[in-house]
Amino acid sequence: MELSKILQPECTTCATPGSKKKVLELISDLAAVQYPTLTSQEIFESLLAREKMGSTGIGNGIAIPHGRLTNISQPVAVLIKCEEPIAFDSIDKQPVDILFALLVPADQCEQHLSTLSTMAEKLNDKLILKQLRKTQDESELYQVITQ
């Protein structure tokens, strides 16, 4: 799937959320704009439920929080670059500064796994990661991840 179909520029931001809870809330607020039928709280609870199963911090300063929702028909993604890294219980115990969140319809498990795998590969590319970390604003951040 082409990333620009699920990640909109308005769901890409540079922020200083301060904590894991606050960044999950920010993801929820941004995603709720794309799905007015959902509340930020519903999205937050979906992300939190997944985090309770184990952290989505995959190491190297990257986290890929994700959740499944019954009230959506298309996947939606959120990309956040944290100005200050945050503790995220990552597998390497390092703080996180790049988060790619994915919310998918509950009945699209295969697509969900495929998109997560593609993003993990992209974010593990040292050149792309370096470019993301060097970006100065949301527009640049969006361009780097969707190119």
Bridge partners (DSSP) listed for residue 68: 104
At residue 109, the pLDDT reads 65
Sequential pLDDT tens for the chain (147 residues): 578 888 999 999 999 988 999 999 999 999 998 888 889 999 999 999 999 999 999 999 999 999 888 888 888 899 999 999 999 999 999 999 999 999 988 887 666 677 777 788 888 889 999 999 999 999 999 999 988
* Residue of 66, 77, 129, 145 marked active site: 66
Whole-prediction pTM: 0.91
Q: Are 61 and 92 in contact (CB under 8 A)?
A: no
At residue 111, the pLDDT reads 67
Domains of the chain, CATH where assigned: 3-142 (3.40.930.10)
Tell me if residue 112 is catalytic: no
At residue 110, the pLDDT reads 67
Distance CA 128, CA 126 (A): 6
Burial class (CB in 10 A: 0-12, 13-18, 19+), 53: exposed
